[in-house]
Structure 1
Amino acid sequence: MATPMTPAQFAAKLRAEGATVVEVGDWETHNRNHVGPWGPVHGAMIHHTVTKGAQTTVNICRNGYAGLPGPLCHGVITKDGKVHLIGYGRANHAGLGDPDVLRAVTNETALPADNEATVDGNRHFYGFECENLGDGQDPWPEAQLLAIERVSAAICRHHGWTERSIIGHLEWQPGKSDPRGFTMAWMRERIAKRLGVKPQTTAPPKPVKPVVDLSRLVAAAQSDPGRSGTPVTYAGVKTVEAALVNGGFLAKPYSDGHFGSATVDAYAKWQRKLGYSGTAADGIPGMTSLKKLGERYGFTVVA
C-alpha cells in the first residue's frame, strides 16, 4: 500500500530505469479522478490492447470509446518499446476484481485464483496497455517486453515492492485473458532479476531540443497553400506539427511540413486552449503561445 507517485516522479522513475518515454498532451492531468479516488496503490497491472498500430493504440487508450471513456491506462507500450504516457490518476483499465488477489498483492504472497469481481482496481493499480492483438499469434518484440520489465521495475523500486506487486489483468478479473502471448510468472522472473541490479546512477544525456524560428514559421503559416498555391517550406514546421499531433490538435495525415489550412486550424485550437479568442486565436503563431507549445513538447523558440 502506498501513495501514488506524482506525475513528475512517475516519468522520471521510468526514464531512470532506461525506458523510452513519450509524453502525450496534458497527460499529467488527464484522468477520471472526478468519479472516484486514486490511491492508495498496491501494484501495477499489465494488459494487451487488441489493437494494431502505435498511433491508433495511443489514441484509443487516451480517448477511450463509446461506453468506456479514457484514459484507459497510464502508459501505452507500443511494439517499438516506447512508453507513451497518456494519463495520470484514476484510469479505466482494471475494473472490478478479486479481493483475495488484492490482499495477496498487498502482502506480496502467492496469487489465488481470481473468482470474484467486487473490488475497484482502477483505484489501486498503475496500468499499462501494451499494443498487441491478443490472439496468441501476434508477436511480442523484445523491445516491448524489455519496456514492460523496465516500467514494472521502476515502480517497484520507488515503492520498495518486489516483483509480486506486478500482475496481469487475467490474474485480477475473472474472464480476462490479457496479457496473452507470455506468462506473468515469466515476466515477474525478468522483473526480479532487474530489481537485483542497481539502475545506472548517471542520467543519460538529454537530447538536443529542436529550434523553431518564429519569423520563418509565421512566414510559412501566412503562405497557406490553400490561398497562395506556393507554400513556404521550413523544417521547423514539422517540429510544430508533430507537437500539435501529440497534443491531439492535428490529425497526423496533415502533418506534411507545410503550414497549411489544417495546421492553421490546429494551431488556433492550441491558442484557444491557452485562453486566447478572436483575432488572438487566428492560427498564426505568436511568441508566447509558441514558447508554451515548445515547453510542453520539447523544442526551443527563437525570434
Structure 2
Amino acid sequence: MATPMSADSFLDLLTGEGLTVVEVGGWRTHNRDSKGRWGPVDGVMIHHTATEGTAATVALCRDGSADLPGPRCHGVIAKDGRVHLVGYGRANHAGAGDGDVLRAVIAEKRLPPDNETDTDGNAHFYGFECENLGDGRDPWPEVQLEAIEKAAAALCRHHGWSARSVIGHLEWQPGKTDPRGFTMREMRESVADRLK
C-alpha cells in the first residue's frame, strides 16, 4: 500500500522513463475525488478502450459519458506510444472487483480467479486505457506495448512494487475481457525485465 504521488511527480516519472507525454487540459485536478477516496494505491491496471482514433479516444477517456463520467483513467496510451494524461486522482476505470485479487496484488502473490465484485478498485489502482478495438484482431504496435511496459514499470519502481502489482481489468472484474490481444502474463514478464 502506498500514498499516491503528486501529479507533477507522476508526470516526471513517466517522462523520466523515456515516454512521450501529452498533457490534456487541466488533467492535474480532473478527477472523481468528490465521489470517494483515492489511495492508498496498490497497483497498476491496464485496459483496452474498445475505440479507434486517438483524438476521439482521448476525448472519451477524459470527458466520459452520461452513464460513466470522466476521467476514465489517468493516462491514455495511444497506438503511437504517446501517453495522454487526462486526469489525476480518483478515476472511473477499475470499478468494483474482487477483494481477493486486491489482497493478492498487495501481497504480490499469484492472482486468484476474479469471481466477485466486493471492492472499489477506483480507490486502489492507477489506470491506463490503451487505444485498441479489443476484438483480438486490432494490432498492438510494438511502440504501444513498450509504452505500456514503461509506464507500469515506472510506477512499480517508484512504489517499490514488483511486476505482480500490474494487472489487467479482466483479472479484476468478472466478465471483463480487457486488455485483449496480448496476455498480462507476457506484460508482467516484460515489466519484470525492465525492473531488473
Question: SS of the residue aligned with 2:18?
Answer: coil
1:215-226 residue pairs with structure 2 within 5 A?
none
Corresponding position: 1:47 with 2:47: yes
Structure number with bigger Rg:
1
Aligned residue in 2 for 1:109: 109
CA distance in 2, matches of 1:14, 1:157: 11
Aligned residue in 2 for 1:93: 93
The TM-score with structure 1 as length reference comes to: 0.64
Aligned residue in 2 for 1:121: 121
CA distance in 2, matches of 1:99, 1:123: 12
CA distance in 2, matches of 1:181, 1:63: 26
Aligned residue in 1 for 2:188: 188
Aligned residue in 2 for 1:19: 19
TM-superposition CA deviations, 1:183-214 (whole Å, max 9, x none): 00000000000001xxxxxxxxxxxxxxxxxx
TM-superposition CA deviations, 1:16-39 (whole Å, max 9, x none): 111111111100000000010010
TM-superposition CA deviations, 1:223-263 (whole Å, max 9, x none): xxxxxxxxxxxxxxxxxxxxxxxxxxxxxxxxxxxxxxxxx
Quote the offset at 1:83 in angstroms.
Answer: 0.2
TM-superposition CA deviations, 1:58-77 (whole Å, max 9, x none): 00000001210000000000
Question: SS of the residue aligned with 1:46?
Answer: strand
1:1-303 residue pairs with structure 2 within 5 A?
1-196=1-196
Question: SS of the residue aligned with 1:65?
Answer: coil
CA distance in 1, matches of 2:173, 2:71: 19
Quote the offset at 1:181 in angstroms.
Answer: 0.1
Quote the offset at 1:174 in angstroms.
Answer: 0.2
Q: Percentage identity across aligned positions?
A: 69
CA distance in 2, matches of 1:13, 1:66: 32
TM-superposition CA deviations, 1:46-91 (whole Å, max 9, x none): 0000000000000000000121000000000000000000000000
Amino acid at match of 1:5: M
Amino acid at match of 2:47: H
| Structure 2 stretches lacking a partner, 5+ long | none
CA distance in 2, matches of 1:157, 1:61: 26
| Structure 1 stretches lacking a partner, 5+ long | 197-303
The TM-score with structure 2 as length reference comes to: 0.99
Aligned residue in 2 for 1:216: none
Question: SS of the residue aligned with 2:100?
Answer: helix
CA distance in 2, matches of 1:66, 1:132: 22
Larger relative contact order (Cα-Cα within 8 Å, sequence gap ≥ 6)? 2
CA distance in 2, matches of 1:43, 1:26: 24
Question: SS of the residue aligned with 2:13?
Answer: helix
CA distance in 2, matches of 1:118, 1:60: 27
